[in-house]
Amino acid sequence: MERAAVPPLSSVAICGGTHGNELTGVYIVKEMQKQKTDKVGSVSITTVVTNPRALDAGTRYTEMDLNRCFTDVLLSSPVTESSPYELRRAQELNAQLGPKGSAEAVDLLIDLHNTTANMGLCLIFYSIDWITLHIYKHIQNKMSSVPVRAIQLDIPISDAYSLESVGKHGFAIEVGPQPNGVLRADIFNMVKEAVDLTLAWLQEFNSGRSYEGGTVEAYTFVRSVDYPRDSAGKITAAIHQDLQDNDFKLLRSGDPIFQTFSGETLKYDGEDLYPFFVNECAYYEKKIAFHLAQRKTFSFPSIRVKKD
């Protein structure tokens, strides 16, 4: 591929608390605010605790999942004072950090999340974005304390529902396992390292360093699997202990996936795929026991900042 010239990345937003019970991002953001980290070299930094009501309530959200509100349709829907808090908040955030798809949007938006699944550190992104792929490769090369992976959601950006889609470039950093409502120092340190590596990369990029192209492995979402349920919709099984904590370990036909409460083992029947978000707390209500992905190789070109 050709070498690409990319405009400078001079504004970045670091967001946390989009889900109010995922605490790592909240405390990363609050500490940056306390330290008044609003500029690092050539990069201006906006830090936002995005769902303060849910944070105060100690819940994922108060009326609707904020991180499902950033589609074009929802961002342009009329709101009144009786609209769900999170829908109104999404439009506020879009005005502050976007508007999504516009020239005014922040150059890079990073939203910090946690999961109860054993996923290590994952970047989640939508389109095949060279900047995200370069930063992903950089973080993966530099961090040794945790497996670093990426997940691509193949959704048009207009339908992309999560906050990071508001930036010109953007990704979520999803780290686990961490229980909701709990803050672990090891995970705090991992996320801080990933944020610091990203900020350092942005500065070097803006200063004119060129980055070689290459390839990187990432996972692409294929489908979700729900828990077995009874006629009333109640779950009748837990994730099997052979699958629990084994996110990103290839699942093959015949592998155990559920254990019913009466002790029966239920097995996987399907094509070889990689499970992730295995036993994520918030997904019981979304009827998702785990997602399945393919692993793919993504190519990206050499890049360098575009001169004025």
CB 93 within 8 A of CB 50: yes
For 256, the enclosing helix (H) or strand (E) is: strand 256-260
Residues at the binding site for Zn(2+) are: 19, 22, 113
- Please state, in angstroms and rounded to a whole number, the distance separating the CA atoms of residues 305 and 135: 14
Least distance to its own copies, CB of residue 252, Å: 19
Q: Which of residues 78, 185, 269, 307 is near its own copies by CB under 8 A?
A: 185
Site for its own copies contains 51 (CB under 8 A): no
Catalytic residue among 104, 174, 193, 264: 174
Token pair of 285 as six digits: 């209500």
Q: Which stretch binds its own copies (CB under 8 A): 76-84, 94-102, 159-167, 177-185?
A: 177-185
Identify which of residues 45 and 281 has a Cβ nearer to its own copies in the complex: 281
Q: List residues forming the annotated binding site.
A: 19, 22, 113
Does 30 help bind its own copies (rule: CB under 8 A)?
Answer: yes
Q: Residue from 240, 246, 274, 293 that binds its own copies (CB under 8 A)? A: 240
d(CA 218, CA 231): 37
Annotation marks residue 104 as catalytic: no
Evaluate whether 6 touches 305 at the Cβ level (below 8 Å): yes
Residue 31 in contact with its own copies, rule: CB under 8 A: yes
Pairwise CA distance, residues 92 & 79, whole Å: 11
**Window 251-270: contact mask with its own copies (x via CB under 8 A):** --------x-xx--------
How many CB atoms sit inside 10 A of residue 28's CB? 22
In the complex with its own copies, which residue's Cβ is closer, 104 or 264? 264
Nearest to 286 by CA among 241, 222, 224, 205: 224
Q: How many CA atoms lie within 13 A of 53 on its CB side?
A: 13
C-beta of 149 vs 240, nearer to its own copies: 240
Residue 80 or 262: which CB sits closer to its own copies? 262
